[in-house]
Amino acid sequence: MSTETTNEWFRDAVIYELHVRAFADSNGDGTGDFDGLTSRLDYLVDLGVTAVWLLPFYPSPLRDDGYDIADYRVVNPTYGTMRSFKRFLKAAHERGLKVITELVINHTSDQHPWFQRARKAPKGSPERDFYVWTDDPSEYADARIIFQDFESSNWTYDPVAEQYYWHRFYHHQPDLNFENPAVVDAVKELLDYWLDMGVDGLRLDAIPYLFEREGTNCENLPETHAVLKDLRAHMDRRYGDRMFLAEANQWPEDAAAYFGDGDECHMNFHFPLMPRMFMSLQMENRTPIIDILEQTPQPPEGCQWATFLRNHDELTLEMVTDEERQLMLRAYARDHEMRINLGIRRRLAPLLGNDRRKIELLNVLLFSLPGTPVLYYGDEIGMGDNVYLGDRDGVRTPMQWTADRNAGFSTSNPHRLYLPLITEQGYHYEAINVENQQDNPASLLAWMRQLIGLRKRQPVLARGDIEFVEPENPHVLAFTRNLDGEAPFLCVANLSRLAQDVELDLRAFAQHTPVEAFGQTRFATIGDGHYHLTLAPYGFFWFTLQPPPTAPTGASSELPTLNGTWTEVLRRRAALTRALGRWLPTRRWYAGKELRVREITIDDTIALRHPDTDVALLIVRVSFTEGDDHRYAVPLMRADGMTAHTIATETPGAIVAELADGALLVDAMAHPEGAYAVVAAALSRRTSTGRHGGLRGVPRRQRAMAPLGSPTDVHLLGVEQSNSSVLVGHDYIAKLIRRLEAGPNPDVELVGHLADQGFAHVPGLVATADVSLADEQHSADVVVVHEAVANDGDLWSWMLDELALEIEQTDTLDIEHGASSWLAELLGRRTGELHLALADTNAPGMTPQGFTLLWQRSLLQTLRNGVRAAQRALRRAKFDSPVADELLRPVDDVLARFDRLRAEKLDARRIRVHGDLHLGQILRSGNDITFIDFEGEPGQPIGERRILRSPLTDVGGLVRSLDYAGRSAVDTAIARGLVADADVDDLDDARDRWTRAMRGVMTDAYLTTVGPSGLIPDEPDDARLLLDVYTLHKGLYEIRYELSNRPDWVHWPLSAVAEMIRTP
């Protein structure tokens, strides 16, 4: 083996992370120690790992699991002595195991002698200067608070020092002052102390936070890198084969900076990759993994990423977007006890529901993707956790060795154990332990040993490059690893819970023969066409590539017939479900048009009161081959006679099925009789029962308890939208929320807040109805009743009429004509007032927050996700045009003009917003306007709709709506024959000028209104950039929506997006 390979041992390593106190107790005091660990080293050798990473074992108050160090130079007496540590180190090296320990240099415990000396020393003294102090705790205000669940500030007042000290983590962990050269010298002495003893590597904890500088977020500062280079040079001069491992929980481009030019840290944890492996599994889509790896810089020569699935901390969700964080929390931490800070405190097996297939799949990805894999103790046997223990202790319980007393960990009284054992059903130590799995060839432990062994025999997996193979099937992740001198290695993984068929473009490896790594089975030789594979649910293949010796059918147009009485039709769910499966995709409010349906079930059936007609509310669950299930509110009505004739003639799309007696089964919201029953459920304080609780009316005003009247008072409101609305007399507007989610609907929450603020331009809330959902703790709002606002129609219709008249009379469009200019100014002013009212709150979940660089980076990631989604939709639709080609460029090229969001913090705030604001959501009331429908984008989960966003989200929606209005007016005029062919281009140019002018007037009025509130950046260039971000994001969504619903309109948003991404 070459010297280079020996010195770079970490690149070929498999690292095992453990806590001394959690692994094995040799003296029966209930806490693990070094002698116990030494006695178990043969187990680690048998497992196949090559390095052991020890969590802090120094004297400590243990208020942060030992990361609050009180003395760097000795062993915590509970864990043993320096002599027992040296015995362990010697035994590990004799077995070929490398040892990595912690060098926690960002902070110490407040019990460390350095800090005790500093707090008692006078200001400005060398002793005081070992830490960061101030008299003004407003300094460094741009630095985020990392432990948000526990700390409210990064400064804590010390009564002894009579100053505030700086801490990026807990208040009992004061940060060292690296501006002081004496601190750097002290760190070098500690480094020498442990490396002289024989430690092979040092993990540098919390390394991005070493320095502070005003006006920055105090992370990733150049001074930090200068100190790291100094420490690395010091190490290299004295020790040739040792290693620094950086803990830098940052986006890939920032984390990669800790490699330097190969002259800082040898290794670096890849934090953003970890949650995206779980994300891809939940979404059953490879995009999150591929996208983050495409953003990951290649490490310098001799450096390596460290990858992991779980560790001693929470599954951190800092380096994801707000939307991605909501997805992860919904999928993996529904119980709030599972959440801590910005993450999830769970072990691997419980996170994955103890599904062996998922556990194996994620481990295969961990060992396949670039980087050195790091395993967390106990995950190799599928240990459980205890989320009810404090802090992150639930994932730090004793190692489970046997089914005997204390799981073979200790001979102490069970009550003396440092933490209780896992006794939860399915994870009980009597079932999940090393002894039970050691000799079982079908156990998870046996499989992990095989996986580790295969990895160690494949240098290409440790050091090779990666090249993704992107088949049409999005559920399949496939890539090759390539290294000079080694056979190519192909990895294929099915991220779906269903079996998948895939064709891979492997023509670059024509005549190679795939040999399956686990069984050494030879597969068919690769030819000149696509290579076909079938994968089991969550299945995978590892292949060594040895060098040479179709379309869904359409639905029937005939209506299904359902037999039996009304009650029997509802009870015989199989036939009814098939009918609903045929009907649902035809509805505009159905949000699953781009997804493949796996199963449709009826969760609940709730009879609604009606004097003459059979009406029932169905809660219909739609499960897909990827992503979360959808639940829909489907009120059904039996219609016969003239009612059936009217529906068949006027709204045939509302018919779900025919009944055997000649009647029709229809959407109740398509007729006043059915809608009457739905609205009555909200206006009366009654509960209609179903299997899971039922439907409960919640009148919000006393007069809402008055009798509803008769069905003749109910008037349908025409065009089908994302929900279904009716006018009740002249008093109320009632809306049936079609897609249901547990929790308060924003249309209830925000309208209530605005009313409390005295904002007059929203309708008053009259009543709601909520429905219980299966498997959910909270009910969902299903009907919302607002006051009816006297109006002249919505702005969309009014604007189209104005523009049509202007084109007809003048053959052009000009903002100086008609009421357009007045309306644009009013629209901008009222929208600004709306946002000021929404920002005026300290309510939980609504309190405004300032921008941070970290949040801006997630915003940029959200934009990347939108670009990728639009690209996938265009490719899937085989949409071919030069304009589309502009969007189909590499994502980094498309978003180049927005890249400064990474590095330049904008001075602005995030608030709750309308979320789906367009001209159709605004009513013209005389010379004023009223905002309606505050539920946000119905296609998004409620958790995402409640995320704090820039108010320019709404302004961007209005900008896009104005563009649509102009394009629609021109298209209508052309279709009516009002525009000669020769004049079409001139009219389109006039439309473009009109749209730009309207945007200018509206945004100027808006910015004047919000003024110095801090909601919007003061710098005009920053405000424009941010507005363009949200306008572009809306346009990308419109592309996907139009491709699914109105393909003839897709060129409208596509043209606008193309212009935005080419604008400098």
- Between CA 533 and CA 541 the distance in angstroms is 10
Q: Phi first, then psi: what are they for 872, rounded to 5°?
A: -60, -40
Tell me: the pLDDT tens digits for 141-159?
Answer: 999 999 888 899 999 999 9
Mean pLDDT value of segment 686-709: 74
Helices 853-876 and 287-294, axial angle in degrees (round to 10): 120
Share of the chain above pLDDT 90, in %: 74
The pair of structure tokens assigned to 736 is 């049936």
Tell me: the pLDDT tens digits for 89-136?
Answer: 999 999 999 999 999 999 999 999 999 999 999 999 999 999 999 999
- Between CA 742 and CA 745 the distance in angstroms is 8
What local confidence, expressed as pLDDT, does residue 719 receive? 58
Based on its alpha-carbon atoms, the radius of gyration of the chain, rounded to whole angstroms, reads 32
Tell me: the pLDDT tens digits for 946-988?
Answer: 999 999 999 999 999 999 999 999 988 887 778 777 888 888 8
Q: Which of 534-538, 635-639, 725-729 has the lowest mean pLDDT?
A: 725-729
What local confidence, expressed as pLDDT, does residue 2 receive? 46
Torsion sign over Cα 564, 567, 572, 577 = positive
pLDDT of 1 higher than 50: no
The pair of structure tokens assigned to 420 is 């209780």
What local confidence, expressed as pLDDT, does residue 960 receive? 96
Nearest to 633 by CA among 564, 722, 697: 722
Q: Between 230 and 798, where is the model more confident?
A: 230
- Between CA 658 and CA 639 the distance in angstroms is 10
pLDDT of 216 higher than 70: yes
Tell me: the pLDDT tens digits for 293-326?
Answer: 999 999 999 999 999 999 998 899 988 999 899 9
Tell me: the pLDDT tens digits for 843-893?
Answer: 888 999 999 999 999 999 999 999 999 999 999 988 888 889 999 999 999
Average pLDDT, the chain: 92
What local confidence, expressed as pLDDT, does residue 555 receive? 39
Cβ 930 vs Cβ 791: under 8 Å: yes
Tell me: the pLDDT tens digits for 333-391?
Answer: 988 899 988 899 999 999 999 999 999 999 999 999 999 999 999 999 999 999 999 88
The pair of structure tokens assigned to 994 is 């009109």
- Between CA 87 and CA 108 the distance in angstroms is 27
Nearest to 63 by CA among 177, 189, 147: 147
The pair of structure tokens assigned to 719 is 């065009």
Residues serving a catalytic function are: 205, 247
Tell me: the pLDDT tens digits for 705-724?
Answer: 455 677 878 888 865 678 88
What local confidence, expressed as pLDDT, does residue 624 receive? 87
pTM: 0.84
Collapsed DSSP state (helix, strand, coil) of residue 487: coil
CA separation, residue 1061 to residues 21, 883, 893, 1055 (Å): 55, 11, 9, 10
Work out the pLDDT band at 527, boundaries 50, 70, 90.
very high
CA separation, residue 692 to residues 195, 567, 605, 606 (Å): 63, 18, 9, 10
CA separation, residue 201 to residues 37, 242, 461, 976 (Å): 18, 5, 22, 76
Cβ 23 vs Cβ 44: under 8 Å: no
- Between CA 192 and CA 1028 the distance in angstroms is 53
Q: What is the largest CA-CA distance in the chain?
A: 96
pLDDT of 1064 higher than 70: no
Which residue, chain included where needed, has tokens 């330097």? 260
Q: Which of 493-507, 579-593, 687-701, 895-909 has the lowest mean pLDDT?
A: 687-701
Nearest to 960 by CA among 1009, 1006, 919: 919
> Read out DSSP for 1010-1048?
HGGGSSS-SSHHHHHHHHHHHHHHHHHHHHHHHHHH-GG
Q: Between 149 and 43, where is the model more confident?
A: 43
pLDDT of 3 higher than 60: no
- The CATH class that applies to domain 3-103+179-453 reads alpha beta
- Residue ranges of the domains in the chain? 3-103+179-453, 113-166, 471-546, 561-787, 795-1062
CATH 3.90.400.10, domain 113-166, yes or no = yes
Protein fold of 471-546:
Immunoglobulin-like (2.60.40)
What local confidence, expressed as pLDDT, does residue 810 receive? 78
Work out the pLDDT band at 554, boundaries 50, 70, 90.
very low
Tell me: the pLDDT tens digits for 437-470?
Answer: 998 999 999 999 999 999 998 999 999 999 999 9
Work out the pLDDT band at 1054, boundaries 50, 70, 90.
very high
- For Cα atoms 348, 203, 50, give the angle at the middle one, nearest 5 degrees: 65
Cβ 472 vs Cβ 500: under 8 Å: no
> Read out DSSP for 681-739?
HHHS--EE--TTS-EEEEESSGGGGS----GGGEEE-SS--SSEEEEETTTEEEEE--B
Collapsed DSSP state (helix, strand, coil) of residue 3: helix
What local confidence, expressed as pLDDT, does residue 1063 receive? 64
pLDDT of 1008 higher than 70: yes
Protein fold of 795-1062:
Aminoglycoside 3'-phosphotransferase; Chain: A, domain 2 (3.90.1200)
What local confidence, expressed as pLDDT, does residue 879 receive? 87
Please provide the distance, in angstroms rounded to a whole number, between the alpha carbons at the two ends of the chain.
53
Nearest to 310 by CA among 263, 365, 349, 284: 349
The pair of structure tokens assigned to 771 is 């429905």
pLDDT of 551 higher than 50: no
Q: How much helix, strand and coil, in percent to the nearest 5, is found in the chain?
A: 40, 20, 40
Walk across the sheet containing 343-344 and list its strands: 315-316, 343-344, 339-340
Buried-state track 418-431, b at ≥16 Cβ within 10 A, e below 16: bbebbeeeebbbee
What local confidence, expressed as pLDDT, does residue 707 receive? 52
